[in-house]
Amino acid sequence: MYRIGNRGFFNINGEVEYLGRSDREIKLRGYRIDLDDLKIRIPGAVEGVTAVAICRCGDCLFCMLQPETLGVAVVRVMARKIMPAYAVPRCFVAVDKFPMTPAGKTDYKEIASMCSNNSAETEAPRQMQMSPSQLALERVWRETLGLPADIEINVASNFMALGGHSVMQLQLSSRLARMHGISNPLPLVIGSATLGELAAAIDDRKSEQHGVVTSHGLVPLGNNSASPIEKDWFVKYDLGVKGTCSFNVSYACAIDVNQVDTECLVRAWNVILCRHRIFRSRSIACPETNKHIRRLMTSHAPQVTKVDSGKNFSLWREVNRPISLDRHENLIRVFASKTHMLVVVSHILAALTMLQIILDELISVYNGAILSPVKRTYEQTMQWSKTITSTQMEWWRLTSKGLFGITASLIPCN
């Protein structure tokens, strides 16, 4: 009668038996979402997506994509631009083909199961890597929501899914404003899908309004400021031919299937990729001038892409595939198959020395070791702001003369 999209029938008692929706519209955490609409938006926003399947599991949405070679981090970034925060799927998985039912239709139950398993594999590393700001925010969430200690909150937790509502969002905003001395954090609270995103947004707002000064008067690099070496590489990218792979730093090796557990290797890589926050960074030009560089941090760490060496995967092609700074894609890519492993990093992020350190950590985690916490993150370093001393100047002058047989004229720079 009202054509509201619900399907049902009258039973013999004259009661309506509800069968579900004629479309794929659902109500998730109080929001009405059309899954078919989301399914159409993603291919229109992300180049290379050939098929999308979105399903619900509990209070979360999961998204499966084709082809398997897609960078799910890129899809996740674009999804946050074209969808409201409450409609962004919790997990994205790229596969060669979708699971099908015996009748030849997409098996959404199997998709939900596969995505749940994939999400669970990365949940533990995320929990291990909670920063001090995330832990402080977790305590405020517990106070606002009135949650007991046995209810888990991690970086992927959603405020509304834990029982929050609009009034609690206002209360949370007021507490955060007093706690951090920032103005009007309510848009950050509403626009952040997870605890990790909100903590990062608050850190950015604090650095914008106050900055962080140490007792030595040195200013840390911060979340958004780029170091001199980053700026130098950004200029090189800009001067070079668009799409060049000359600045790719890569490492590839064969895997002995009799000695290496590929699944354990993938899990170890995901721990390492979550461990170092700098792997989430993007280097972009400031929109105001298009000359200066800023660093942005995504809420999700990169993940290993599992591939089949014999199907549509070329190691040579991936080594030579450019990492574009003007597109929001990961600056590090890791691929693993049963027979090969490949790491490709942008030179603006790393050099071979850093890559060797990461591989050493990978070996330790693979062998079951527990790594000690990172003592200082990249954005916390303060050496970029130090002024060169006269002693250092003299050392460089003498060293340069001894090495090159010339008297160097050094210009102090930060």
Instruction: Report the half-sphere exposure of 286 (CA within 13 A, side-chain side).
Output: 10
- The answer to whether 241 and 337 have CB atoms below 8 angstroms apart is no
Which among 177, 186, 183 is positioned nearest to 159, based on CA atoms? 186
Q: Residue length, the chain?
A: 414
120 vs 123, 138, 268, 302, CA distance in Å?
5, 20, 14, 15
Rounded Cα gap, residues 317 and 85, in angstroms: 35
Domains and CATH numbers, the chain: 21-128 (3.30.300.30), 132-209 (1.10.1200.10), 228-374 (3.30.559.10), 382-414 (no CATH)
In this structure, what is the dihedral angle of CA atoms 48, 265, 126, 327, given to the nearest 10 degrees?
Answer: -30
Which among 82, 109, 84 is positioned nearest to 98, based on CA atoms? 109
The pLDDT of residue 392: 77
Is the dihedral angle over the CA atoms 194, 200, 204, 205 positive or is it negative? positive
Q: At what angle do helices 352-366 and 262-275 cross, to 10 degrees?
A: 120
CA 209 and chain centroid, separation: 25
Q: Environment class of residue 6 by beta-carbon count within 10 Å: exposed (0-12), middle (13-18) or buried (19+)?
A: middle
pLDDT one digit per residue (tens) for the chain, 414 residues: 566 667 788 888 888 887 666 666 777 767 778 888 888 888 888 878 888 888 887 777 888 888 877 777 778 778 877 887 778 887 788 888 888 888 788 888 888 777 666 554 444 444 446 778 888 898 899 889 888 777 778 877 778 777 788 888 888 988 998 888 887 888 888 877 778 778 888 887 777 665 444 444 456 677 777 777 788 778 777 775 556 788 888 999 999 989 999 999 999 999 999 888 888 888 777 655 445 677 777 778 889 998 886 667 788 888 888 887 766 678 899 999 988 999 999 888 888 888 888 999 999 999 988 888 877 777 777 666 556 777 778 777 777 765 555 444 444 444
Exposure class string for 137-153: b at 16+ Cβ within 10 A, else e: bbebbeebbeeeeeeeb
Q: H or E element: which one contains 390?
A: helix 390-404
CA 301 and chain centroid, separation: 3
Question: Is the bond leading into 228 cis (omega within 30 degrees of zero)?
Answer: no
Q: Environment class of residue 171 by beta-carbon count within 10 Å: exposed (0-12), middle (13-18) or buried (19+)?
A: middle
Other CB atoms within 10 A of residue 214 CB: 11
The pLDDT of residue 310: 65
Rounded Cα gap, residues 203 and 188, in angstroms: 11
Q: pTM for the complete prediction?
A: 0.46
Longest dimension (CA), the chain: 102
